[in-house]
Amino acid sequence: MNFIALRMLMTDRAKYFGLIFAFAFSTFLLQNQISIFCGIMQRTGSQIRDVTDAEVWVMDRYTEYFEQTKALKDTDLTRVRSVPGVDYAVRLFKGNPTARTLAGKFASTFTLGVDDSTLVGAPRQMLLGKWENLRESNSIIMDKAGYALLFPGEPFELGRVLELNDHKVTLVGISNASAPFVSFPVIHARYSEAINFQGRERNQLSYVLVRPQPGVTAEELARRIEKETGLKARTTAEFIWDCVIYYMKNTGIPVNFGITIIVALIVGLAVSGQTFYMFTVENLRQFGALKAIGVTNSRLVGMVLLQAVVAGAIGYAIGTGMAAAFFQATLHGMATRGIILMWQAVVSVGLLMSVVVVAVSLLSVRKVIVLEPASVFR
Amino acid sequence: MNPSSSSQAVRCLSLRKHFGEGEARIEVLRGVDFQAELGKLTFLVGPSGCGKTTLISVIAGLLDPSAGDLEVLNENHGRMKAQERILFRRRNLGFVFQQYNLLPSLTAAENAAVPLMADGVKRGLAVKKATALLDRLGLADKAASMPRFLSGGQQQRVALARALVHEPRLIICDEPTAALDHKTGESVMGLLASAALSPDRAVVVVTHDNRVFHHAHTIAHMDDGIITQVETPKPALTS
Ligand SMILES: Nc1ncnc2c1ncn2[C@@H]1O[C@H](COP(=O)(O)OP(=O)(O)O)[C@@H](O)[C@H]1O
Ligand SMILES: [Mg+2]
């Protein structure tokens, strides 16, 4: 009887495509919005994630997320270094000086000053130049998006000069830094020079980056540093989550995306539910004839569910394909770089759509169950 | 033991059926005594609204009677459970409707094969059997056609094949010729009389088309919820 259910489903082309479209559309919208939301949230930790040669971040006790720094004292660095299990601990400066090109373009930046001697925290993914070039005096590395912002339409070229708060610096590399939450250029410089870009506040020890000795886990070491210094110490993963949670709690972003996601769900549910219900009602006579002939209710319910599942699965597949194509197309866009279709979104939307399919078929199932077989004589 | 009881396919005694309750209560069957015998074409005739469709729906087990006794193929209907009734219907009954009620997305042969598939016969085998039957009913070249490309008479012959394909012992037809012109109606009724009738099968036909009455072995007249008169113009088919 399954083939009968499928033939029924596919005979009315307009409804069949309408149904698939409804499922595909909500699948696409849900996967798209969930992925973009997660992608944007992940960006709040981009600069933490990009530092691959340290595993523990030490900061002021009241720091809640990456942007919110309060200068540590130089003695703090010494105290962290003396905690057992620390392999190395180095300075990191974070500031937002304004960069200005000779052509007059300017932008607030996201400037990181890395330890002069070790260059821990320097960008490892370079598009042009080498991160070791940071050792040259008054040199900086800028990310490609920042370059495109400050030198629009111009090819990548090293040796360009720009000013950071009236300090002349030379571009020695272009990095592929992960996109930051706000679209500021990401600049890497040496600590000793970066603190001068800032002007007013001289002492700008924002973070101490720590690597544990072999055999000591980052978690263990972070707890130990907190206990012994009274400072806050977070592993890379913990700190990224701190940032995500901070932005979730303190911005309208989750609400915005939440509304879109709920609307997509409701529209998908309403449109597909409506279409499927109409489809069942139009075929009620056929179900009645089958019932009169002696097809049981459970068999008929199975047929209805099969129809909903097949339409749902095809719609889901098309919607997922559309979402994948969308992110493929936007992957290399400057504003959308790094935002991908997350497998978690694919899986969770799949589960969500299964629930939608069941919900959508419930009305139809009920209609078929209460259908009087004697009605076929009318 | 009544020697005729084994030849009886349908026996209704004081069968009653009403719809609704209170103000809205309508008595549709008011004590129907009705029989249909194997080997016979039994016509049920009467004015529109007198309760013919209701009666055959009850006989088919599609509606429950409000009171009275009903025996179909020597099974007491009141004693069967709902699920048993469905199985009974699937195995022993064939239906022909005024509106044909073919599934528009299936070919003629697939439509005719539905009762077999509903009973678990594999699609290929069921369609093969149905095709052979369509052949007998003069539709050999239409087996693969969709219903919408068939004329009314052809569709009703497909419906007839569907009623016969699982070799049921009781066939119930509700106004099978009402939607057809006289000539086509006559040929469908002729097929019912020749292909459907056999010594161990009863055919009950509701109609008000008096032009086809000459096919009947028995004619039961119904009016206002009761059988008023029974004629037996022809003897039953015997083996
Ligand atoms: N499900 C129902 N609910 C209420 N009234 C019904 C129902 N089915 C039939 N009737 C009524 O029963 C009467 C007999 O109907 P029916 O058996 O279809 O007559 P016939 O087939 O002889 O034309 C009609 O008055 C009809 O309105
Ligand atoms: Mg009627």
Residue A376's pLDDT is what? 86
Quick one: A64 and A102 in the same domain? yes
| CA–CA gap between residue A84 and residue A224 (Å, rounded) | 8
pLDDT for the residue numbered A264: 85
SS (H, E, C) chain B: CCCCHHHEEEEEEEEEEEECCHHHCEEEEEEEEEEEECCCEEEEECCCCCCHHHHHHHHCCCCCCCEEEEEECCEEHHHCCHHHHHHHHHHHEEEECCCCCCCCCCCHHHHHHHHHHHCCCCHHHHHHHHHHHHHHCCCHHHCCCCHHHCCHHHHHHHHHHHHHCCCCCEEEEECCCCCCCHHHHHHHHHHHHHHHCECCEEEEEECCCHHHHHHCCEEEEEECCEEEEEECCCCCCCC
Do residue A284 and residue A353 come from a single domain? yes
Q: Please answer yes or no on whether A294 and B101 come within 8 Å at the CB atom.
A: no
Q: For residue A226, what are the contacts with CB-CB under 8 A and spacing of at least 6?
A: A232, A233
**Same-domain check for residues A7 and A54:** no
Closest Cβ–Cβ partner in A7, A10, A377 for B174: A377
Complex ipTM:
0.92
What are the structural domain ranges in chain B? 8-89+169-231, 104-168
> What is the pLDDT, as a whole number, of residue B237?
67
CA of B56 to the centre of ligand 2 (A): 9
Clarify whether residues A297 and A265 are in a common domain. yes
Could you tell me if A261 and A207 lie in one domain?
A: no
Position A202 scores a pLDDT of 57
The CB of B54 under 6 Å from ligand 1? The reply is yes
Amino acid at A359: A
pLDDT (tens, 9 = 90+) of chain B, 239 residues, equals: 344 446 889 999 999 999 999 999 999 999 999 999 999 999 999 999 999 999 999 999 999 999 999 999 999 988 889 899 999 999 999 999 988 999 999 999 999 999 999 999 999 999 999 999 999 999 999 999 999 999 999 999 999 999 999 999 999 999 998 888 989 999 889 988 888 889 999 999 999 888 888 999 999 999 999 999 999 887 766 65
- Report the share of chain A in percent with pLDDT over 70: 99
Supply the range of the domain harboring residue A138.
Answer: 46-250
CA distance B161 to A316: 40
Residue B106, chain A, CB below 8 Å: the answer is: yes
* List of residues 6+ apart from B183 with CB closer than 8 A: none
State phi, psi for A256 to the nearest 5 degrees. -55, -50
pTM over 0.90: no
Q: Are residues A89 and A157 in the same domain?
A: yes
State whether A149 and A292 are in the same domain: no
> What residues contact residue A117 under an 8 Å CB cut-off, 6+ apart?
none
Please write down the long-range contacts of A351-354, taking CB distance under 8 Å and 24 or more positions apart: A352/A30, A352/A265, A353/A23, A353/A26, A353/A27, A353/A30, A353/A268, A353/A312, A353/A315, A353/A316, A354/A312
Residue of A10, A293, A299 to mutate, interface with B, max B Cβ within 10 Å: A293
Q: Do A6 and A127 belong together in one domain? A: no
Q: B57 and chain A: CB distance < 8 Å anywhere? A: yes
In this structure, the answer to whether residues A245 and A265 fall within a common structural domain is no
Quote the pLDDT of residue A52.
Answer: 87
| Least confident stretch, A145-159, A324-338, B42-56, B79-93 | A324-338
- Domain boundary among the residues A250, A270, A305 is at A250
Range of weakest confidence among A92-96, A199-203, A219-223, B38-42 = A199-203
CATH class of B8-89+169-231: alpha beta
Kindly report the protein residue whose alpha carbon is nearest to atom 20 of ligand 1: B49
The pLDDT value given to residue B3: 42
Q: Compute, in angstroms, the gap from residue B62 CA to the centroid of ligand 2.
A: 14
Whole-number Å distance between alpha carbons of A8 and A286: 9
Q: What are the chain A neighbours of B62 within 8 Å (beta carbons)?
A: 292, 372-374, 377
Let me know how long chain A is.
378
Of B31, B1, B29, nearest to B13 by C-alpha is B31
In SS3 terms, chain A reads as CHHHHHHHHHHCHHHHHHHHHHHHHHHHHHHHHHHHHHHHHHHCCHHHHCCCCCCEEEECCCCCCCCCCCCECHHHHHHHHCCCCEEEEEEEEEECCEEEECCCCEEECEEEEECCCCCCCCCCCEEEECHHHHHCCCEEEEEHHHHHHHCCCCCCCCCCEEEECCEEEEEEEEECCCCCCCCCCEEEEEHHHHHHHCCCCCCCECEEEEEECCCCCHHHHHHHHHHHHCCEEEEHHHHHHHHHHHHHHHCCHHHHHHHHHHHHHHHHHHHHHHHHHHHHHHCHHHHHHHHHHCCCHHHHHHHHHHHHHHHHHHHHHHHHHHHHHHHHHHCCCCCCCCCCCCHHHHHHHHHHHHHHHHHHHHHHHHHHHHCCHHHHHC
Which residue is closest in CA terms to ligand 1's atom 25?
B49
CB contact under 8 A, B97 and A377: yes
Average pLDDT over residues A283-307: 94
pLDDT by residue (tens digit) across A51-69?
988 999 999 998 889 888 8
Distance B45 CA to ligand 1 centre (A): 15
Structure tokens at B72: 């179909």
Which of B85, B103, B117 would best serve as a mutation to test chain A binding (most A beta carbons within 10 A)?
B103
Angle at A348 between CA A347 and CA A351, to 5 degrees: 90
Confirm or reject: Cβ of B159 under 6 Å from ligand 1. Answer: no
Residue A260 identity: T
- Based on the fold, state whether residues A101 and A18 are members of the same structural domain: no
**Are A152 and A230 members of one domain?**
yes
- The average confidence (pLDDT) of chain A is 90
Q: Mark yes or no for CB contact B89/A7 under 8 Å.
A: no
- More confident call, A200 vs B140: B140
Residue of the CA atom closest to atom 4 of ligand 1? B19
C-alpha distances out from residue B15 to A23, A66, A224, B9, Å: 51, 85, 90, 16
Phi and psi torsions of A4, nearest 5°? -65, -45
Residues A6 and A116 in one domain: no
pLDDT tens string A97-110:
899 998 888 899 99
Ligand 1 neighbourhood includes B57 CB (under 6 angstroms): no
What pLDDT was estimated at residue A203? 58
Residues 6+ apart with CB under 8 A from A18: A275
**pLDDT recorded at residue A195:** 84
In total, how many domains does chain A have? 2
Q: How far apart are CA B171 and CA A169, in angstroms?
A: 97
Please give the pLDDT value at position B235. Answer: 75
